[in-house]
């Protein structure tokens, strides 16, 4: 049986000192941020694609656009997503507390669930590099609308709803494999990293680029680096503090009231 990670008070103290002394903190969050809210990651031991490798096609733009059966499966999966009933966890609330302390400069997230905003994070600080599953967009005309409107049509019997304006293919307003990232969004994320005096990477293995490049960029410009992830990452050696414990518990301890 796997043993739980042993708390490292030295790393916790180092991270807390870095946060308390920082004036411009940038957080980067990945799928691990939301697992404590009941939203599984993709490639972890209990991940969506680990359990069902065929589901990866639903997130690959070439398959999604070309195959109606893939789209139908994707719409069924959207209906059943645990994200609709998930609530922000202690980690999300801790980053809100960091904002209230006046320290949080930007929050760059790879997640598409909007749990940061639902926790009370200011939308102006949140940079969604992979979009939001709570919006739907038309691949042909670009029209965007709340996802709930399309899901209501699926519940009413439409297996593959199309755009009501132009008849085009609808998909979640998220970045699929093979789909280009939005340059302006990535530029904003990288600019924030360059401006930070502390970058905290949370719940991400730091393997997805270009966003993972925020860590070495921040390090090159002199920022402190804290990594909070239950598993090792490829950039642990760059960090001033590495903490491998439950994310919500750690962030609650690190980001609450401290020196302003």
Over the stretch 157-177, which tens digit does the pLDDT of each residue have? 999 999 999 999 999 999 998
Over the stretch 38-58, which tens digit does the pLDDT of each residue have? 998 655 555 554 556 666 788
pLDDT at 60 over 60: yes
Task: For the beta carbon of residue 246, count every other beta carbon within 10 angstroms.
Answer: 19
pLDDT at 44 (0 to 100): 54
What's the CA gap between 176 and 174, in Å, rounded? 6
Short-list 45, 42, 14, 47, CA closest to 200: 14
For residue 74 the two structure tokens come to 């994707």
Q: How far is CA 2 from CA 5, 235, 249, in A?
A: 9, 24, 19
> Domains (ranges, CATH) in the chain?
1-39+88-130+180-260 (3.40.50.1220), 41-85+132-174 (3.30.1600.10)
pLDDT at 119 (0 to 100): 97
pLDDT at 20 over 90: yes
Percent of the chain that is helix, strand, coil (3-state, to 5): 45, 20, 40
Please provide residue 44's backbone torsions phi and psi, each rounded to the nearest 5 degrees: -70, 180
pLDDT at 1 over 50: no
203 pLDDT band, cuts 50/70/90, is: very high
Task: For the beta carbon of residue 147, count every other beta carbon within 10 angstroms.
Answer: 20
pLDDT at 3 (0 to 100): 45
pLDDT at 57 (0 to 100): 80
pLDDT at 243 (0 to 100): 96
Average pLDDT estimate for 229-248: 94
Annotated catalytic residues are 130
What is this structure's pTM?
0.90
Please provide residue 79's backbone torsions phi and psi, each rounded to the nearest 5 degrees: -60, -40
260 pLDDT band, cuts 50/70/90, is: very low
Tell me whether strands 104-109 and 126-128 are parallel, antiparallel or unpaired: parallel
């Amino acid at each position: 049986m796997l043993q739980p990670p042993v708390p490292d008070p030295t790393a916790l103290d180092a991270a807390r000192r870095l946060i308390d002394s920082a004036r411009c903190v940038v957080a980067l969050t990945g799928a691990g941020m939301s697992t404590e809210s009941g939203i599984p990651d993709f490639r972890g031991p209990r991940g969506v694609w680990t359990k069902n490798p065929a589901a990866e096609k639903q997130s690959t733009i070439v398959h999604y656009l070309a195959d109606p059966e893939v789209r139908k499966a994707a719409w069924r999966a959207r209906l059943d997503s645990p994200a609709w009933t998930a609530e922000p966890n202690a980690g999300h609330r801790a980053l809100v507390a960091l904002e209230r302390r006046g320290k949080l400069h930007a929050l760059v997230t790879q997640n598409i669930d909007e749990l940061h905003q639902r926790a009370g994070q200011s939308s102006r600080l949140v940079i969604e590099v992979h979009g939001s599953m709570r919006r739907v967009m038309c691949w042909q005309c670009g029209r965007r609308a709340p996802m709930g409107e399309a899901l209501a049509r699926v519940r009413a019997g439409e297996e593959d709803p199309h755009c009501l304006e132009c008849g085009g293919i609808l998909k979640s307003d998220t970045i699929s494999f093979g789909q280009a990232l939005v340059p302006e969004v990535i530029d904003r994320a990288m600019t924030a990293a360059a401006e930070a005096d502390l970058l905290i990477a949370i719940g991400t293995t730091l393997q997805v680029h270009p966003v993972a490049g925020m860590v070495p960029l921040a390090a090159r410009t002199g920022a402190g680096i804290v990594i909070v992830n239950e598993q090792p990452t490829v950039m642990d050696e760059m960090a001033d503090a590495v903490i491998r414990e439950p994310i919500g518990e750690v962030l609650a301890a690190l980001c609450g009231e401290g020196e302003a």
